[in-house]
Amino acid sequence: MNQPYFIVVLAHSLHGRIRRFHIDQKVVVLVLGLALLGCFSVLGFVSSYLRMAWKVANYNALRDEASILRSRYKKLQTEANQTNDQLAKLTILASEVSMAYGIKRVEPAALGTEPSASTPVASKLIPSYHESLQEYDTLRLASMFGVSRNYARRWFTNVIPSLWPVEGRLMSYYGQRSDPLNGGDAFHSGLDISVPMGTQVRASADGIVMSAGFDGGYGRLIVVDHGGGLRTYYAHLSRIDVIPGMEVRRGQVIAASGASGRVTGPHLHYEVRRNGFPLNPRLYMTTSLLSVSGTKSNRDLGL
């Protein structure tokens, strides 16, 4: 049986020679199929190249935008750190003045009137909102446990971690920051206070030592429970002077600062947690060690 085929005739324009070529139909179909497949392959390569070029362009744009945002974030973080540092210094100064005089003065503008020279001094001094709440809590505590108001006030004051554990410069704040070891963004659950190696670390409030020992990245760590779900953490210590279950007093030396654990240099990492959740310690730290040592003896500090 004859196979179907195509005849291709070629004629030369000068010589007039005619040549016939017999091409099998299968060969023609195969050539056309290969040509069609080649066209699809070329189209696929071109579309892949265009898609890759589009993705690279988008990636470059996003990278430039991320770089700009990162530089803005670092600038804002620097400004925020400077502002927080200034606020901490002003807080310490205000606390020292308040403790020295035992009062908190409200500016006349806040009262709405300008006091005259004949106005009694007592009328120019009113308790702040924070003092009023604390006085309310003191009265409630005294009525609940049947103790005197002075005892309740002293108890309520001593279990709030308001004392700075060390005197030093704040080198890292609570919140988002750039990790000093790997450079990535990370949440910092406390404050880093720069102090020399071996600086005495004091309890920021009365409490019970829950744990004292080595704890991974914290290094040598002390956790003090102050009741009501409130606990303080003292990390990267070089020496621990307390044991679990021990009762400590506000201002008592409990350890020495160091560089144990995951650190880049000697400092104290200090945290305040309520029911396991980290809080900003700056909300509580209103009393400096200098002001306390200037108003109390070593015996009052528990030294």
- Strand blocks (E) in the chain: 5-11, 18-24, 169-172, 175-178, 185-188, 191-194, 200-202, 207-214, 220-225, 230-240, 247-248, 253-257, 268-274, 277-279
Structure-model confidence comparison of residues 69 and 8, the more confident one: 69
pTM: 0.50
Strand pairing class (200-202; 277-279)? unpaired
| pLDDT category of residue 253 using cuts at 50, 70 and 90 | very high
Nearest-angstrom CA–CA distance, 165 and 200: 8
| pLDDT category of residue 82 using cuts at 50, 70 and 90 | confident
Q: What is the CATH number of domain 169-301?
A: 2.70.70.10
- State whether residue 291 is helix, strand or coil: helix
Question: What are the residue ranges spanned by the domains of the chain?
Answer: 169-301
Termini Cα distance of the chain: 117
Model confidence over 157-198: pLDDT tens digits? Answer: 678 888 999 998 888 888 877 666 666 677 888 899 999 999
